[in-house]
Structure 1
Amino acid sequence: MSVEELSDGIFEIDLDGRKTLATKNIMPGISVYGERLFREEGVEYRLWDPRRSKLGAMVLKKFEIPLKYDSTVLYLGAASGTTVSHVSDILRDGLVYAVEFSPRTMRDLIQLCDQRPNIIPILADANKPLSYAHIVEKADVIFQDVAQPNQAEIASVNSKYFLEKHGHLILSIKSRSIDTLASPKKIFKDEVHKLEGGFGVEFEVLQRKELDSFHEDHLGLVARMFVDGE
């Protein structure tokens, strides 16, 4: 078995002749969603299923993921914490603010946070960033995976309030949450156009790829926020 670090805290594992993703488990012995744990040279890793994680799929699609071990991340659409838990592993000296709208799902997320002190759970609507502005500090990265029709607007408004100067946005756009009849490619084009000049915040799109084979009708995107006068 071989272990290769692809980027800060994200590993590719050659396990039983098959390459897969993993993160170092900051809570050894504890599996979050039934994922396999294994040890190599005294280090415990958690396998990362890209079919259950848009971010994991983006890693396998060769995105350059701008997460560092000490990053501060605002995660919009945390759900029960499957991907958040891997972000928590990556941010071993960082912090992730995990925003989720569903009270039922939040119960699972809170249980995860009881085990992982670098996750701050926030029960809130990502459409209303001022409702959690008293909790969230400036973030190096915003990751968003929300099934709402105004996904570009949510990303832009939250970035306006919370993203650091020259910070990065990682966005998963779900076309069927925007329009069930229109072409996904047209929806993706329109949403990217909004990000590049709409809602009072401008982004430079660094990478964009569809996540097919892992997540149907989804576009992954990494962008950097423009700053006025620079």
Structure 2
Amino acid sequence: MSLPEGVQRRSFDGRESLATRGPQVSEEPTVDGWRRWDPDRSKVGAMFEDGLEHGLEGGERVLYLGAASGTTVSHIADFAGPTYAVEFAPRPTRDLIEVAADRDRLFPLLKDARKPETYAHVVEPVEVLVQDVATRGQAEVALANRQFLEPDGRLLMAIKARSEDVTADPESVFEGVCETLSSGYEILDRGRLEPYHDDHLGVVATPRQ
């Protein structure tokens, strides 16, 4: 599987890892301006490491749902085009704003991903929709935000089984979410995100026409 332009494998203390070139965000190791992208802290990083066919080339416009304090979205903004980062909680949004201060392509939005009408006037059509939200109804969130995705765009979604139903078998949860998701998306690839994230499924999809 190829990596998007702007993402490389670099050696950090003798260990090869994904890396992007940009300002340091936390205490991640850096070498010659490249900073380590830790898949244990990033669902998208785990998707790359696990070999999902993401279809990203670099430079795409991105809408990221569930940006939290900005760890993953900062790496994405390092290699993507304009990147809109939606986060619902005020505290991590403050951290996200600090991350964006060093990145002119990263635009934080204190909004609820379940209510895309509240940011529809801000977000332009995008080529990539990334979703990492811890809520029940994850498929419904992706369907509601499909309006922003170009016809040939890509959805990269991390399904969190425990957010849907903490008592159910994760595989049953994944099947149910994917079935709902399929009403508006064609699923191109999927795979568990172990060993990096337990009870998570990575999904790559494109909008149905």
Alignment partner, residue 34 of structure 1: 27
Given the alignment of the two structures, is residue 213 of structure 1 paired with residue 202 of structure 2, yes or no? no
Using the TM superposition, give the Cα deviation of residue 16 of structure 1 relative to its aligned residue in structure 2, in angstroms.
4.4
Alignment partner, residue 127 of structure 1: 114
SS at match of 2:177: helix
Alignment partner, residue 147 of structure 1: 134
Distance 1:88 1:126 in 2: 19
Q: Can you give the 5+ residue segments of structure 1 that lack an aligned partner in the other structure? A: none
Distance 1:213 1:99, change over 3 A: same
Given the alignment of the two structures, is residue 71 of structure 1 paired with residue 60 of structure 2, yes or no? yes
Code of the residue aligned with 1:82 in structure 2: it is T
Code of the residue aligned with 2:160 in structure 1: it is K
1:182 pairs, out of 168, 176, 200, with 168
Q: Can you give the 5+ residue segments of structure 2 that lack an aligned partner in the other structure? A: none
Are the equivalent residues in 1 in contact too, given 2:151–2:206 (CA < 8 A)? no
Code of the residue aligned with 2:21 in structure 1: it is K
Alignment partner, residue 98 of structure 1: 85
Alignment partner, residue 162 of structure 1: 148
Alignment partner, residue 40 of structure 2: 51
2:182 pairs, out of 193, 196, 200, with 196
Code of the residue aligned with 2:201 in structure 1: it is L
Are the equivalent residues in 1 in contact too, given 2:25–2:99 (CA < 8 A)? yes
SS at match of 1:223: strand
SS at match of 2:159: strand
Using the TM superposition, give the Cα deviation of residue 31 of structure 1 relative to its aligned residue in structure 2, in angstroms.
1.4
Q: Cα deviation per residue 1:120-159 (whole Å; 9 max; x = unaligned)? A: 1111100100000110011101000000000000001101
Distance 2:158 2:135 in 1: 11
Distance 2:199 2:206 in 1: 23
Higher relative contact order (CA 8 A, sep 6+): 2
SS at match of 1:142: strand
Distance 1:176 1:37 in 2: 33
Distance 1:145 1:177 in 2: 11
Code of the residue aligned with 2:104 in structure 1: it is P
2:71 pairs, out of 82, 90, 95, with 82
Alignment partner, residue 112 of structure 1: 99
Using the TM superposition, give the Cα deviation of residue 6 of structure 1 relative to its aligned residue in structure 2, in angstroms.
3.1
Identity %: 46
Code of the residue aligned with 1:66 in structure 2: it is G
Distance 1:17 1:102 in 2: 37
TM-score by length of 1: 0.87
Distance 2:52 2:178 in 1: 17
TM-score by length of 2: 0.95
Give the length in aligned residue pairs. 208
Distance 2:65 2:54 in 1: 17
| Higher Cα radius of gyration | 1
Distance 2:57 2:108 in 1: 20
CA RMSD of aligned residues (A): 1.3
